[in-house]
Structure 1
Amino acid sequence: MKYAYTILYVESVSETIEFYEKAFGFNRKFLTPESDYGELISGETTIAFASIELGNSNFKRGFEKISKSQKPFGVELVFTTENIEKDFQSAINFGATEFEPITEKPWGQKVGYLRDNNGFLIEICTPMKTE
């Protein structure tokens, strides 16, 4: 078995794809003609977005939609970078909001938290040092 996708359900797939392209530098892999599903080129695991409507058609019992006015879900996407201060600020410049400022952890890793244009949590961090 292989972990292949993370799919976030959003109000506007095309706006979310554009946000991730600008804020984090990812490239678009795929967007349906209906703009109800799209994917980013993000490494081995694909980050994908699907419309709320598509989610409603998939999940007959419903699901909890993200809200920027509520606390975020206890799930995050994590992006590593060697240029954390620059990339963290760049994401804010393109519409991300700071959730927790960059701090250095006791093991030496720098970590900061943002919310994307939908309200999902994004962790920006330096790679873990291996010895």
Structure 2
Amino acid sequence: MIKFKYVILYVEDLEKSMNFYKDTFNTEIKFITPEKDYGELITGDTTLSFASLALANSNIKEGFLHSKATEKPFGIELGFVTDNVEDLVEKAISKGATLYENVVEKPWGQKVAYIKDPDHYLVEICTEIQ
């Protein structure tokens, strides 16, 4: 059996990062380790997880690129579907995100916008594809 189970974001402040997603996207915290170096949100079949940079550095011996405000985001995105893209983008910005690409309507009718979360990861906020 193979199952896609989780995505982990490497972050400076685990609780702050988790609370951004909890408060913005109405998710619930599943757990946080006592050391506050790893945590998971309840997001459906695939879990959105967070690891502190220290924990990530201890696991990934070869190192990795850090997400930075001064650079373009990584070529990967997290996607959240909503009925009201504009309202969710505003909410995300009020919680600490920055607008990266304003709301546009695609030729197939889907509304799409992009933000950078407080850790500078790219997040797509969109309507369902009909």
Do the structures match in fold with TM over 0.5? yes
**Unpaired runs of at least 5, structure 2:** none
Matched ranges for 1:16-31 at <5 A: 16-31=17-32
Offset of residue 84 of structure 1: 1.3
In the other structure, the counterpart of 2:5 is 4
Correspondences of 1:50-61 after superposition (within 5 Å): 50-61=51-62
Instruction: Please show how residues 61-72 of structure 1 align to structure 2 within 5 Å.
Output: 61-72=62-73
Deviations 1:11-65 (A, max 9, x none): 1111101111122221111101111001111111000000111111111111111
Query: Secondary structure of the equivalent of 1:38?
Result: strand
Corresponding residue number in structure 1 for 2:33 = 32
- Counterpart secondary structure, 1:6: strand
What's the secondary structure of 1:127's corresponding residue? Answer: coil
Q: How does 1:28-107 map to 2 (within 5 A)?
A: 28-107=29-108
> Residue type matched to 2:104 in 1?
T
Q: How far is 1:68 from its partner?
A: 1.3
Equivalent AA in structure 1 for residue 89 of structure 2: F
Give the structure-1-normalised TM-score.
Answer: 0.96
Q: Conserved in 2, the CA contact under 8 Å of 1:21 and 1:27?
A: yes
CA distance in 1, matches of 2:129, 2:123: 17
Classify the secondary structure of the residue corresponding to 1:3.
coil
Across the aligned residues of Structure 1 and Structure 2, the Cα RMSD in angstroms comes to 0.7
Aligned-pair identity in percent equals 50
Secondary structure of the residue that 2:65 maps to in structure 1?
coil
Which runs of 5 or more residues in structure 1 are unaligned? none
Q: Normalized against structure 2, the TM-score is what? A: 0.96
Aligned pair count reads 129
Specify the SS of the correspondent of 1:78: strand
